[in-house]
Amino acid sequence: MVVDDSRAIRMLLCQALSTMGWEVCEAGHGKQALTVLEADGAGISLILVDWNMPEMNGLDFVKTLRSDSRYASVKLMMVTTETQVEQMMVALEAGANEYVMKPFTREIIEDKLRILGLVQ
């Protein structure tokens, strides 16, 4: 799943993941992503989430997801404009598995997925 309030970023990430063979769904903010998970979360193994979004930001989404044992195995990757090391540490401590700073390339996303053991 790709969670970002920018339609353009969602499109880029969805396209990159699709070309790597992933089935992708999307949401425009954290609350919408939680609704998608409630409806069909069983098949979701990876979520790329932006930090700065309306309704529910990415950090709150990560914390909410990590407090629910049903999603313990879901890999979370922050993809954000937050570039300070302190922000990265906050996200990782909250439960994000990886962190990508915008702008990104398909190769960076693929490298992070490789680190997470999700691609060869």
| 12-30: pLDDT as tens digits | 999 999 999 999 999 999 9
- Using a 10 angstrom Cβ sphere, with 0-12 exposed, 13-18 middle and 19 or more buried, the burial of residue 106 is middle
Count of domains for the chain: 1
- 84: containing domain: 2-115
Is 19 part of any domain?
yes
* Residue 40 pLDDT grade (very low, low, confident, very high; cuts 50, 70, 90): confident
Q: How far apart are the first and last CA of the chain?
A: 20
Residue 111 sits in a domain of what CATH number? 3.40.50.2300
Is 26 part of any domain?
yes
Q: What is the model's pTM?
A: 0.95
% of the chain at pLDDT higher than 70 = 100
Is 120 part of any domain?
no
Which residues pair with residue 3 across a beta bridge? Answer: 27, 49
Is 14 part of any domain?
yes
Is 87 part of any domain?
yes
